Chain A
Amino acid sequence: MRFFPQLSRSRVFFLCIVIIFAVVSCGQSQPISIETVDIPPVPLEVPTSVPTLEPKLRDEAISNNNDQQAAAVSLAMPAITAEDAVSSIDESLSGDSEYLEIMWDSLIPSDYTADAIMAKYRDRLVAVEDGTDEALELYDAMQEEFNNAPVNESLSQFLIKIPGFIAPLEYTDDLITEFLLVPYFGACIHQPAPPANQTILVKTAAGQGIDVADSYDPIWVIGELKTEAQTTELATAGYNIADAMIEKYTP
């Protein structure tokens, strides 16, 4: 305090104004909504990120639908071999360990990916001319198959971490606690509507939720994926995650 008299009055005044502004601006930045990161939505069209598998593995995959090995191969993670996949399943089921970070392509079963459907229809497509009604019918049929593709059972009960945009359904105490997770923004508006296997019904864990102001922003959803092929008394068909944790999306 001894050197204060040497500071001129105007300098002290200036310092105080600066301090006030600093405190006020810190206080005002409390209610943070995440910075809008310019993230291009994960595309729904032909998933080019599906790994180009060697033909031998691919044929094995298509023929061994229920095989664990096929399951590992159908995930969009070329680095994971069958053994790795099995061990990571064991790891993730054994309590609090790494979540499997997946992208939306993995939710499509291996014989219903765009490539696989193309392969199925290839002979018929070759026989038809482009632009004719028959060709259009074929494309419609392929689109139908893609849209009505079943869920990927091999992901059942995996602990996953997946990014996406939300369509809010239910609110609890001003937070969005139940929503549909979709690969791209504006699923309500865009053509076509995402097929059932590109939609996840998410219920957040207690205390978790998304603020209405952040409802347009992409998020990470972390939780156990439940896949149901058919609607039963206990569960509805499709992908479900209950007790999900939510994180703001950062790439």
Chain B
Amino acid sequence: MKTLIRIVLKSAWHRRISLLFTILSIAISVCLLLGVDKIRKEAKSSFINTISQTDLIVGARGGPVNLLLYSVFRIGNATNNVTWESYEEIVALDEIAWSIPISLGDSHRGFRVMGTNTDYFEYYQYGQSQRLTFAEGIPFSEVYHAVIGRDVADALDYQLGDEIIVAHGLVSAEFAEHDDKPFTVTGVLAKTGTPVDRTVHVSLEGIEAIHVDWQGGTRSAFQLSAEQARNVDLQPKAITAFMVGLDNRINTFRLQRAITEYNEEPLMAIIPGATLAELWQTIVVFEQVLLVISGFVLIAGLLGMLTMLLSTLNERRREMAVLRAVGAHPYHILFLFVLETVFIVFLGYVIGMCLLYSLLVLTQPLLVAWYGINITITRPDAQQWFLFAVVLLLSVIVSLIPGLIAYRQSLQDGLAVKV
């Protein structure tokens, strides 16, 4: 057995250049397969962990997935607003324990600005019922205070006390900025791994103040300074959406029905957990397609290896003949091929995994900074070890093809090889 392994290794070393590229092709296909699997799992986790312990999210009537996307993930836009009267009337109901109003529409250098009140810091939960905590500073207490998420602070290098200018709309442009009313950073939230990290939070009054002299989306002729705006009545007239927690979760459906049938305004209430599942159901098809494609890439890699082995079969007939001459049985020849293939695939898999982990380590800070996608680097789970076993088994089966051909050839040739 030991001699056989030594022979395999020496024979492989002799053909190391072509083997190297075969190993690389398998490594890349394994890296792709494991990478797709990892990103799929990370995306699912980060999606699902974004919000917790919120029973309903209420917004203007439209699509439920759209409401979830813009209120929780800060993706997309609302179709309409919710008036303050409707908000107050609904949260006055007995069944409701707490509520968080939110107001969207502005941005700051690519990060969305969200108007809310201090209830947000008290009641918003994510992940496994985790509350928001402050890494530095305190919640806003004044009109022009802002609390920023961890990614905003890191990407734009903000400290407590820095002044920021909020832009109107989702893309910053100098003519669309509220530059006469800067906000002061009073707090930085601890990292959550959710879109909260990429948001600048201000008070609802702050949003009102910066828009008090904007008519129809542009500056009006009459400008108010920051001080003057502070003294105007800053009671918001409308908000974009609000989140609601109930005393008893069993009342969820009844309350959802009541809000949807609310006569004063066309509103819609969604159950975040249910809408998340709905969203994921539509995405799951794509993730499965991605997996199938990666599986095919791996099979292509294995077939490439098979091609390489078959094409060199002829050249190795003399090698087999020599081995037969020194006393190798025909099934030793078969075993030689199996061992060599398993060795190639094993090495390729290990190199592929190393490649994947080094890529992850390199791109982790970039992904967080650019896309807000948080990737945790963990050890391979049971499913990935099972994949390893399946790939090795496949390689054994693939190796049988050249192995059996060589077996037959070695029986026919004997010592006199007619090449």
> Chain A interface (Cβ within 8 Å of chain B)?
1, 4-5, 9, 12-13, 16, 19-20, 23-24, 27-28, 30, 147, 167-172, 174, 176, 179-180, 182, 187-188, 191-196, 199, 201, 212-213, 215-216, 231, 236-239
Contact = CB atoms under 8 A, between A and B. Distances in A.
A231 B252 CA distance: 15
Contact of B408 (A4, A147, A167, A236): A4
What 5 A-B pairs come out closest when comparing CB atoms?
A168-B273, A238-B250, A193-B253, A236-B248, A193-B257
11 contacts: A13-B401, A16-B398, A169-B252, A171-B273, A174-B41, A180-B253, A193-B254, A201-B249, A201-B250, A213-B281, A237-B248
Contacts of B276: 168, 171, 212
B27 to A, nearest CB: 20
A168 B277 contact: yes
Contacts of A28: 295
Given A176-B277, A196-B254, 20 more contacts: A4-B407, A5-B411, A13-B401, A20-B398, A23-B393, A24-B295, A168-B271, A169-B271, A169-B274, A172-B128, A174-B45, A180-B250, A180-B252, A182-B253, A193-B253, A193-B256, A196-B250, A213-B280, A215-B274, A237-B248
A77 B228 CA distance: 73
A167 B249 CA distance: 11
A191 B386 CA distance: 46
Contact of B253 (A168, A188, A231): A188
Interface of B: 41, 44-45, 48-49, 52-53, 55, 128-129, 247-254, 256-257, 270-271, 273-274, 276-277, 280-281, 284, 295, 299, 330-331, 383, 386-387, 390, 393-394, 397-398, 400-401, 404-405, 407-408, 411
A199 B250 contact: yes
A179 B273 contact: yes
Contacts of B254: 147, 193, 195-196
Contact of A167 (B128, B274, B281, B383): B274
A31 to B, nearest CB: 8
A201 B400 CA distance: 56
Contacts of A13: 401
A23 B397 contact: yes
A209 B351 CA distance: 35
Contacts of B257: 191-193
A174 B383 CA distance: 15
A27 B249 CA distance: 41
Nearest to A1: B331
Given A4-B407, A174-B45, A196-B254, A236 B247 contact: yes
